Each structure stands twice: as C-alpha cells, then as structure tokens.
Amino acid sequence: MVVTFNVTGGEQGPWAVLRVSGELDLVTSPVLRQRVHDEVAEGRHSLVLDLSEVLFCDSSGVGVLIASRRLIRSCQGRLRLILPAQGAADGSHVNRVLGALGVRRLFDCHPDLDSATGDEPRPLSA
C-alpha cells in the first residue's frame, strides 16, 4: 500500500491553514518544513497545521513541528496544531507520538479547525 504525502494550503480568517496527510517522516518532512517557511516568508505568521490525516510521524516529523514552532515564535506569530483525539485510524498518531516524547505540551493543540481558528486567547507555553 502506497501512502501519498500531501500538504494543501488555505486560509480561514487571519489564519493560514496547512492540511497535512499521509506519512510525516525523513523523506516527507522537508516538504512540510519548506511549506511552513514559505508561509512565513509571505508574511503569514498565524499558522494552523492540520495533522488529523497524518497516519505516521517519526522523529524527523516531530523535529519539523518543533522547528516550525521556533520559527513562528521568532516572528511573534501563532502556531496551532489540529490533533483530534479520535480520527485517522483510531486516534491521532501524531498526538500519541508527541505525548510519548513529552513535547505535546509545547504546542497549542485543538480537536478541529473551528477550535483552532477561533479567537479564544490561550497563552503559548514556554
């Protein structure tokens, strides 16, 4: 079974939204890294990464998420992740990986797009 990796962009209000699907690994993570850099270079500093359709994520994928967080913070931006508790094949794989590595708390995580692009202020943890 071949799993295709895809990143599609869109906007919802002031938020740039990147929908990621497939496997986020050593081969595909540079694609996501480049897309995040492109969004920031174009002046979009409020970014939502929709990871609800990511079926697999390895350490290089986690590295891209952490690097994206650092990049967005460096320009006083906001980064939110969509990580549904239930979703792609029984719970978000990325959610479990970030939790297992103890880095999930670094991210502002939301269950769906409406929540992620809502205006309720939430402090960005250190």
Q: Which residues pair with 22 in a beta bridge?
A: 54
Tell me the pTM. Answer: 0.87
Give the residue, 35 or 100, on which the prediction is more confident: 35
Query: What is the reported pLDDT for 87?
Result: 46
pLDDT at 22 over 90: yes
What does the alpha-carbon distance between residue 98 and residue 112 come to, in Å, rounded to a whole number?
17
**Contact status, residue 5 vs residue 22, Cβ threshold 8 Å:** yes
Query: What is the reported pLDDT for 95?
Result: 85
Q: What angle do CA 34, 47, 120 make, to 5 degrees?
A: 165
Query: What is the reported pLDDT for 94?
Result: 87
